[in-house]
Amino acid sequence: MSARRLPPLNALRAFEAAARLESMSRAADELSVTHAAVSHQVKALEEWIGQPLFRREHRRIRLTEAGADLLPVLGQAFDSIDARLADISATGGRRMLTITAAPSVAYRWIVPRLPAFSARHPEIDVRIEHSTRMVDLRRERAIDVGLRYGRGGWEGLEQHWLISGHARPIASPGLLAKYGLSAADLPLPVETIASLPLHHEETRLWWRRWFENNGMPEADVSSGAVLYDAGSILDLALAGHGAVLGRFALAREAMSAGLLLPLHDAYLDEDAGYWFVYDKARADEPHIAAFREFILEQIGEETWQDWQASDRDGD
C-alpha cells in the first residue's frame, strides 16, 4: 500500500473546528490555541489544497464549495477516531467489534448467538449498531462488519452469503383459532389464506406475487399494514393480527417454538438474501477474522431445506 498523501493533522483539525463552529475564534477556544494559530493552519491547508476553503466576510467566515465538500469527510473521520479511542480506553486495550445490521436482523439473528461468541472469544467485546442505514464500511472505520440484505456485488467489500431471502406465509396459532382453524388443517388452501388479514413488508407486491405464483392472481391484497422492517412484520404475526410472508432467517426461532406456523408449502423465492460483509483491506484483523469464522460456522446447518425438514418433523 502506497503512503498516504495527507496535509498536517493540525491544519485539518483547525479547519474542521472553524468550519463546524463557523468561527476562527471559537475554534481557537476549542483547540486551546490562539486565533492567529487557527488562521495560520487554515491558510496552510488552503495552500496545500490549492484553493480557498473559506470566504472571509466582515466578522464571519463562510465555506466555499471545496470547504463544504471537505467538512463532512473530516467530521466523520474524527468521529470514528474518537469512537475507537474511547473504546480502547474503556476496555483497557480489549478489542471492540462493532456490527451494523437492521434492527430485525440484530435482535432476531445476531443477539441470540452472541453468548456463544463471547464464550469462545472473551477478549472481544461486541457492540451492535442497529440501523437501516447503508453504512460505507470502507470509510466508517469505527464499524467493523455488517449484515446486509441484498443481491451482493458491493464494491470493495468481502461478502459471504449467509441465508436466502425466501419467504412463506406464516401466522400464529391464535390467528388460526379465530377462524376456526388449527395446525391440523395445515397446509391451508390458497383461497383460505386469501381470506385472512394480510400484512406486508415494504410493499403489497410480495403477497400479490405469491398468490399469482399459486394460481390465484385475483386475490385481494389491498388491505393490511405496510411496514418497512421485517422484524416488525413478524411482531404483527406473533400478536395474532394477521398472516405475513415471513423470512426464514428471522422467523425460524419463533417457528421452532411453535409461536408461528407455516400456512403453505410454497415460498416466495428471491434472488436476494443476507450477507456478512466487511472491508477487504481489514480481512486479517483478528477480531474480524474471529467473528467471520464464528458466523460461517453458525450458518452451516441453517438452510431453507432444514426449515422444510423441521416442518415435516412437526407434522
Strand partners, 127: 98
Q: What percent of the chain has pLDDT above 70?
A: 91
pLDDT for the residue numbered 229: 79
Q: Is the pLDDT of residue 206 over 60?
A: yes
How far is it, in rounded angstroms, from Cα 148 to Cα 83? 23
Q: What percent of the chain has pLDDT above 90?
A: 52
156 or 197: whose pLDDT is higher? 197
123 or 89: whose pLDDT is higher? 123
Burial class from Cβ neighbours inside 10 Å (0-12, 13-18, 19+) for residue 119 reads exposed
pTM for the whole thing? 0.62
pLDDT for the residue numbered 87: 63
Question: Which amino acid is present at 52?
Answer: P
How far is it, in rounded angstroms, from Cα 225 to Cα 198? 8
Question: Matching CATH topology for 9-85 and 94-164+272-302?
Answer: no
Mean pLDDT within 243-253: 87
pLDDT for the residue numbered 315: 38
Contact (CB, 8 A) for 110 and 276? no
From start to end of the chain, where are the E strands?
A: 54-57, 60-63, 95-101, 124-130, 145-150, 157-164, 167-171, 200-201, 226-227, 244-247, 261-262, 273-279
Tens digits of per-residue pLDDT, 159-183? Answer: 998 888 788 999 999 999 999 999 9
CATH of 167-262, one of 3.30.70.20, 3.40.190.10, 3.40.50.720, 3.90.1150.10: 3.40.190.10
pLDDT for the residue numbered 120: 94
Q: Cell 484483523 maps to which residue?
A: 285
Question: Which amino acid is present at 163?
Answer: I
Spans of all domains in the chain? 9-85, 94-164+272-302, 167-262
The region of weakest confidence among 16-20, 31-35, 156-160, 257-261 is 31-35
Contact (CB, 8 A) for 126 and 155? no
pLDDT for the residue numbered 89: 62
Q: Is the pLDDT of residue 90 over 70?
A: no
Specify the CATH architecture of the domain 9-85: Orthogonal Bundle (1.10)
Q: Is the pLDDT of residue 287 over 50?
A: yes
Query: Could you say which DSSP state residue 57 is in?
Result: E
Mean pLDDT within 108-133: 89
Mean pLDDT within 126-153: 86
Round the average pLDDT of the chain to a whole number and report it.
87
φ, ψ of residue 19 to 5 degrees: the values are -70, -45
Q: What is the CATH number of domain 94-164+272-302?
A: 3.40.190.10
Question: Which amino acid is present at 186?
Answer: L
Strand partners, 99: 128, 145
How far is it, in rounded angstroms, from Cα 275 to Cα 152? 7
Q: Is the pLDDT of residue 64 over 90?
A: yes
The grid cell for 109 is 439473528
H or E, element range at 272? none
